Amino acid sequence: MQHLYAYTRYAFVGLFLVFNAINASVAVWNLSLIQLIGLKYPLDIYLTVVGACGLAMSFLIVFVEAAYDSPITGRVWFECTWVGLFLVMNFCGAVALSALKPALCTFDARRRIGDIGCVSNRVILAFSWITIVLLSGYLMMLTITCLIRQKTDTRIWLYHIRDLDTPSSRLPSPPTSPTIPYFRKDNATIVAPLPRRPGPSVNMMRGLDSSYDVEAYEPPPVPRVPRHNNFALQHKYSSGNQATAPSLYPQYVQPSMVITPSRMPMQESPRSQPNNPPSPPPLGDWPRADILSRPIPVDSNTTSSKTDGA
């Protein structure tokens, strides 16, 4: 049963309350009978006080347990303490009552009050031992259970009574299910950005700044013309243009000269002649080759116009 200790505690508190009520009431009744015959019996006063304290403790536990969820009165160590204390008190009273001869069981007491006085002594003695047995059994159950489980759980004395289970049932704090260990990266912390001065604009950067490097200019390499091509061009143009463009250099110097394209005479490619007849020159026969040998012909229309004008 999972709630064995909780149910046992409820039954124990109820029985302890009833037995202490019986012991206290019978002790008071026995004390009144003794006073009738004029005797002094202080043991009845002690048993009355023990019974009254037991009643007060029982009501205190009931009210506190009803008002709070997990009070100190329900702890294992507190339960063992007060149960052991009442066990000692009841045991002392029962032993003293058993050792002494009951005053109400004497012949003189029976002659005065009858057998009722002896009955009250026997009732209080019986319930005193019953209360001792109840306290002893409950205290042994709690103590043995805590001593056995203390090897695995040293905090067993701090538990509540209802948290104790039987050894065959689950533990008060069952172990968690095993989990596969894994590495987890810590979440990145967000840091507030710091104000920074913006860098200089590219358009506003100075050309002579310390971070500016002037790249040296290197002209592209000029392709060199093979020498045999120059000689071939020289021979070609010299053979084709000797008659048209005479050279001003001596002949023994001309073979060693390199003729550049700028010095070479440009030959016009023959144009295709159109089929239409050639148009007359825009300036007529001007300029003439020999103006003295060929006089300018006079137009009759021009002469007449000049005469009319005169």
Instruction: State residue 123's pLDDT score.
Output: 85
Report the predicted TM-score, pTM, of the whole model to 2 decimal places: 0.50
Cα gap 251→247, rounded to integer Å: 8
DSSP annotation of 112 = H
Contact 29, 120 (CB under 8 A): yes
| Other C-beta atoms lying within 10 Å of the C-beta of residue 190 | 6
pLDDT tens, position by position, 197-251: 877 666 655 555 566 566 666 777 777 755 555 555 555 555 544 444 456 767 7
Check pLDDT > 50 for residue 310: no
- Of 41, 13, 10, 8, which Cα lies nearest the Cα of 27? 41
Alpha helix segments (H runs only) across 100-217: 107-113, 116-149
Is the sign of the CA dihedral 174, 180, 183, 186 positive or negative?
A: negative
* Cα–Cα distance measured from residue 202 to residue 215, given in angstroms and rounded to the nearest whole number: 18
* Sequence spans of domains, the chain: 4-163
pLDDT tens-digit readout, 190-203: 778 888 887 766 66
Q: pLDDT band at residue 17, thresholds of 50, 70 and 90?
A: very high
pLDDT digits (tens, 9 = 90+) for 260-289: 555 555 554 555 455 555 666 666 666 655
Residue 46 has pLDDT above 60, yes or no: yes
19, 127 Cβ separation under 8 angstroms:
yes
Q: Is the peptide bond before 223 cis (omega within 30 degrees of 0)?
A: no
